[in-house]
Amino acid sequence: MSFSRYVALGDSFTEGVGDLDDALPNGVRGWADRVAHALDAAHPGVEYANLAIRGRKLKPIVDEQLEPALAMKPDLVTIHAGGNDVLRPTIDFDDLFAVYDDAIARLADSGATVAIFTPHDTGDVPVFGALRGRFAILAEGMREIADRRGTVLVDYWRIRDFQDPRMWAHDRLHMGPAGHQRLAIAVLDALGVPHDLAPPVLPEPSREPRTTRLADDAKWVTGFLAPWVGRRLRGVSSGDTISPRYPVPTPVADLPERSPS
């Protein structure tokens, strides 16, 4: 399968947070960039836009990104949303699924191939593991929408590679470079696009003493978790001052060069 114009919608997951690269817009790379480059390698001339903004909940994603995406007339759209809704104190799943289903229907009706995602299984994740039941409900809702609308489904929940902490960034919430590489492979495979992306090379598992792990946990609480909770209590988002990385379709060949690996 080949595509000529790819538009990526969503939140930090799609923006590329956790995959740092100072040479690129917003200082990140991410799985969607990798997918765009693979699409262009398979069939040169692909254009790519990435409208995703970190911290966005579902309704702002739909309100801010859907119409611009449709106006670009893409033949491939990926959209990930709902994770930030699940992290709020309360959630109305029926309302969330209704909004999501309508958005996916509009994208599918445009004639584009649409790929959506289940969330990650947080069962082994400190703190966020307590929300595993919520994420499981979200995952099943995404599967149902994919079945109903005939979209491509990337079942992130069932990719057990992501149970490995080496796939994750230091904040333990976003994928690191290895995770973004693994996810790009999963997306391309789900789309049936040939590629030469190699599985991520992981560092040797750490064998740190318990005291070191406890110190790392304390740094994580003070450096990430406490500020993250504070932003939620103040109604502030990490994406409030962020703009889309690639707001208009741009030839992949013209994208900024990433930092040397």
**pTM of the complete model beyond 0.85:** yes
- Res 206 pLDDT > 90: no
Rounded mean pLDDT of the chain?
Answer: 90
On whether residue 257 sits in a domain, the answer given is: no
On whether residue 239 sits in a domain, the answer given is: yes
State the distance between the two ends of the chain, measured CA to CA, in whole angstroms: 29
The count of domains in the chain is: 1
Tell me the residue range of the domain where 240 lies: 5-196+209-251
Strands 152-154 and 113-117: parallel
On whether residue 85 sits in a domain, the answer given is: yes
- Return the pLDDT at 172: 77
pLDDT tens for residues 2-34?
Answer: 899 999 999 999 999 999 999 999 999 999 999
pLDDT tens for residues 134-175?
Answer: 999 999 999 999 999 999 999 999 999 999 999 999 887 899
- Return the pLDDT at 80: 97
| Integer Cα distance of 219 and 213 in angstroms | 10
On whether residue 261 sits in a domain, the answer given is: no
On whether residue 47 sits in a domain, the answer given is: yes
On whether residue 167 sits in a domain, the answer given is: yes
Could you tell me which residues come within 8 angstroms of residue 187 by beta carbon, excluding any fewer than 6 positions away? Answer: 31, 35, 78, 115, 154
On whether residue 64 sits in a domain, the answer given is: yes
On whether residue 203 sits in a domain, the answer given is: no
SS3 content of the chain, % helix, strand, coil (to 5): 50, 10, 40
- Return the pLDDT at 45: 98
Torsional class of 55: left (φ above 0), alpha (ψ -120 to 50), beta (otherwise): left
What CATH number is associated with residue 12? 3.40.50.1110
